[in-house]
């Protein structure tokens, strides 16, 4: 008898789990499943990414669904369409032995008419993204008045992506009598506020420690100069020949640039970002999940909700501004009990960003040296030799060719054969790293070249006292400029005013349209600022993550920022050094 029988699940579900290879419940499943089945109390559950949360909330709901009733009985909200699709797929697999059950994923990027048609035919469980769910509610095609269960999966990520308004609308459309199940990897203030406002005396369960990183993930840090960040990335990939990794970048532009460089340099890589169509995203993810891609370069938003197992590494090309985002990034590896490595590439001036992250994950970063050329060549060579040694020889298939091969190689002894083999496979690699220098630490050119010189910096006369935050500022820009896909750079929200940066090609658009807008009843004033020529010895303002203005990232950093009332700023960027290598 399966251990899942002891959790209160019926035999049809247990048989499906056994067929799917589930051997025993995870920690969160052992706690959550009996709680949800036996009690109607709301539930606030902490569980790290990759611990089996989907089964923890979907199995007990599936156990209790009324199959004779075709109306929607449960709504599960997830931050991204990829995660919504994955959850619906998992539930469908769990229910493969249950006749009369239907589940539907509703999300943007797919034809809404098809989703409406399936809703009409009857669906007991709907899995949706906040935006598409609100759309269906407004169209009166999704009725949530009779639902019994509301699940908020990855609640912290939904709030980070700026979906608070949508969540409020959905929650208000649901009955008071429902059971609300809130699952989150971290519990920032905003998630706690959702729990206070929409849950009744929730039971709280925790599988692991709150707001810390996964136990199986080790955290490594490489300190390099700005201009050596990309060469260091390549060396880290080269010292790990079997790498299977997501590289996190901060903007779409950076994601495209890094992916293009890696592809040009011979790496098996591709990019995932908001400019891709749904079909393109699906194609990239299919290749990555099937391991036809070794490296996926992605923004935080594009990668949210991805369900990919067996990642060996997560690499932070640049650290996020919020420690919670680092927790989400690092949680992509070390899943299902397996070990993983989360790597951060930082410059000396970014070292201070590690401390709040270390407090959040309750672990220390291990500082590592960027490997040198000899170390990389040795690792690559030995990996190749191991593959040759361990290869399974199919004598039946190759025996007809062997006599000619032996004839061609006649006269070469064992050492000569090995030397020629190694040279054939390795000459170009050895040549590339022959005179490779040391990439560790800073150098005299660090920070002197400004890579974001295409941005214009603006002053705006509203700030925290006006209830402004980065997400609302991005929304204000979206609503008042004509162009789409405008790159937004640094954002600083101060008490009574703020600063932000926009692609300089949109300067006139910002001045003409945003400068004639209103925010919370207050007239908006926008002016171009100049970068200060002061030395950087004074107080240095912390940078905010870059965003596209079309909503790729709708979240924001809510930390208080203090700064001078001057409309000038001193900002340093980074220089580019692409480096080419043939394999």
User: Any idea what the CATH number is for the domain that residue 485 is in?
Assistant: 3.30.70
141 token code pair: 């095609």
Is 410 among the domain residues? yes
| Residues, the chain | 583
Instruction: Please indicate, yes or no, whether residues 472 and 543 belong to a single structural domain of this protein.
Output: yes
Reading the chain (583 residues) residue by residue, the pLDDT tens digits are: 468 888 989 999 999 999 988 888 888 999 999 999 999 999 998 877 667 889 999 999 999 999 999 999 999 999 888 889 989 999 999 999 999 999 999 998 788 999 999 999 999 999 999 999 999 999 999 999 989 999 998 887 787 777 888 998 999 899 989 999 998 877 667 778 878 888 888 999 987 655 444 568 899 999 999 889 999 999 999 999 999 999 999 888 899 999 999 998 889 999 988 778 778 888 898 899 889 999 999 987 767 656 677 899 999 999 987 787 888 788 888 776 678 999 999 998 888 889 989 988 889 999 999 998 888 888 888 888 888 888 888 888 888 888 898 898 888 888 888 888 878 767 777 777 877 788 887 654 443 333 456 788 899 999 888 889 887 888 888 888 866 567 777 888 888 899 888 888 888 888 888 888 889 888 899 998 875 443 333 333 333 333 344 333 333 333 333 333 333 343 333 333 333 333 3
Residues 303 and 227 occupy one common structural domain? yes
* Domain final residue, candidates 353, 371, 389: 371
Structural domain containing residue 115: 3-207
Clarify whether residues 222 and 367 are in a common domain.
yes
Please check whether residue 222 lies inside any domain of the structure: yes
User: Which residues neighbour 355 within 8 Å (Cβ) at sequence distance 6 or greater?
Assistant: none
Q: Are residues 404 and 365 in the same domain?
A: no
From 349, 371, 393, the end of a domain falls on: 371
Look at residue 456 and give its three-state secondary structure: strand
Give the number of other Cβ atoms within 10 Å of residue 64's Cβ: 15
Residues 111 and 256 reside in one and the same domain: no
**Structural domain total, the chain:** 4
Same domain for 179 and 32: yes
Q: How far apart are CA 407 and CA 391, in angstroms?
A: 23
Q: Residue 440: inside a domain, yes or no?
A: no
360 and 378 in one domain?
no
Residue 275 lies in a domain: yes
Residue 168 lies in a domain: yes
Cβ pair 229, 69 in contact under 8 A: no
Q: Which one, of 281, 286, 277, lies nearest residue 298 by Cα?
A: 281
Residue 438 forms part of a structural domain: no
Structure tokens at 106: 């509703």
Same domain, 198 and 235: no
Q: How far apart are CA 368 and CA 319, in angstroms?
A: 16
- Tokens 């011979």 — which residue? 266
Q: What distance in Å separates the CA atoms of residue 46 and residue 180, rounded to the nearest whole number?
A: 14
Kindly report the number of other CB atoms within 10 A of residue 88's CB atom. Answer: 24
Q: Are residues 231 and 333 in the same domain?
A: yes
Same domain as 417, residue 297: no
29 and 104 both lie in a single domain: yes
With beta carbons less than 8 A apart as the criterion, state whether 115 and 85 touch.
no
Can you give the CATH number for the domain in which 334 is found? 3.40.50.300
Asked if the structure places residue 453 within a domain, the reply is yes
Q: Are residues 400 and 500 in the same domain?
A: no
Domain boundary among 179, 207, 235: 207
Task: Evaluate whether residue 212 is within a structural domain.
Answer: no
CA–CA gap between residue 499 and residue 568 (Å, rounded): 10
């Amino acid at each position: 008898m399966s251990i899942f029988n002891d959790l209160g699940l019926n035999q049809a579900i247990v048989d499906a789990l056994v067929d799917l290879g589930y051997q025993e419940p995870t920690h969160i499943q052992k706690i959550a499943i009996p709680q949800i089945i036996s009690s109607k109390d709301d539930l606030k559950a902490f569980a790290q990414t990759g611990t089996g949360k989907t089964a923890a909330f979907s199995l007990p709901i599936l156990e209790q669904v009324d199959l004779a009733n075709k109306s929607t009985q449960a709504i599960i909200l997830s931050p991204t369409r990829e995660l919504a699709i994955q959850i619906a797929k998992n539930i469908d697999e769990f229910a493969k032995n249950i006749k009369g059950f239907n589940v539907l994923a509703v999300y943007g990027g797919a034809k809404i008419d098809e989703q409406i048609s399936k809703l009409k035919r009857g669906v007991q469980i709907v899995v949706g993204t906040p935006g598409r769910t609100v759309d269906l509610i407004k169209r009166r095609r999704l009725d949530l008045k009779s639902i019994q269960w509301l699940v908020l999966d990855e609640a912290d990520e939904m709030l980070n992506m700026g979906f608070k308004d949508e969540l409020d609308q959905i929650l208000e459309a649901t009955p008071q009598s429902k059971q609300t199940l809130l699952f989150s990897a971290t519990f920032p203030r905003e998630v706690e506020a959702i729990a206070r406002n929409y849950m009744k005396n929730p039971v709280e369960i925790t599988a692991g420690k709150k707001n810390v990183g996964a136990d199986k993930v080790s955290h490594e840090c490489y300190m390099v100069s700005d201009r050596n960040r990309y060469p260091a990335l390549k060396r880290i990939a080269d010292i790990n020949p079997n790498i299977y990794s997501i590289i996190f970048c901060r903007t779409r532009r950076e994601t495209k640039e890094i992916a293009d460089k890696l592809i040009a340099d011979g790496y098996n890589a591709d990019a995932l970002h908001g400019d891709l169509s749904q079909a393109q995203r699906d194609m990239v993810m299919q290749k990555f999940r099937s391991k036809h891609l070794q490296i996926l370069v992605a923004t935080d938003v594009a990668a949210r909700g991805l369900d990919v197992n067996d990642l060996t590494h997560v690499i932070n090309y640049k650290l996020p501004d919020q420690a919670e985002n680092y927790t989400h990034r690092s949680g992509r590896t070390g899943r299902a009990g397996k070990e993983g490595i989360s790597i951060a590439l930082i410059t000396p001036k970014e070292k201070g960003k590690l401390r709040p992250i270390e407090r959040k994950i309750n672990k220390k970063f291990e500082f590592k040296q960027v490997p040198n050329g000899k170390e990389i060549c040795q690792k690559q060579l030995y990996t190749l030799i191991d593959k040759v040694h361990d290869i399974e020889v199919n004598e039946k298939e190759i025996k007809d060719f062997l006599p000619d091969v032996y004839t061609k190689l006649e006269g070469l002894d064992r050492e000569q054969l090995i030397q020629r083999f190694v040279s054939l496979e390795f000459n170009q690699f050895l040549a590339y790293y022959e005179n490779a220098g040391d990439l560790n630490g800073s150098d005299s050119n660090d920070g002197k070249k400004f890579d974001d010189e295409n941005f214009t910096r603006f002053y705006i006369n509203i700030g925290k006292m006006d209830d402004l935050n980065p997400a609302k500022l991005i929304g204000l820009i979206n609503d008042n400029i004509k162009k789409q896909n405008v790159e937004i750079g640094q954002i600083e929200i101060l008490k009574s005013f703020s600063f932000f940066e926009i692609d300089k090609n949109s300067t006139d658009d910002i001045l003409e349209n945003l400068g004639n807008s209103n925010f919370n009843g207050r007239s908006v004033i926008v002016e171009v600022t100049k970068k200060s020529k002061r030395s950087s010895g004074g107080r240095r303002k912390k940078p905010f993550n870059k965003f596209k203005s079309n909503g790729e990232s709708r979240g924001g950093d809510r930390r208080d920022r203090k700064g001078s009332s001057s409309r000038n700023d001193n900002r340093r960027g980074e220089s580019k050094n692409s480096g080419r290598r043939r394999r």
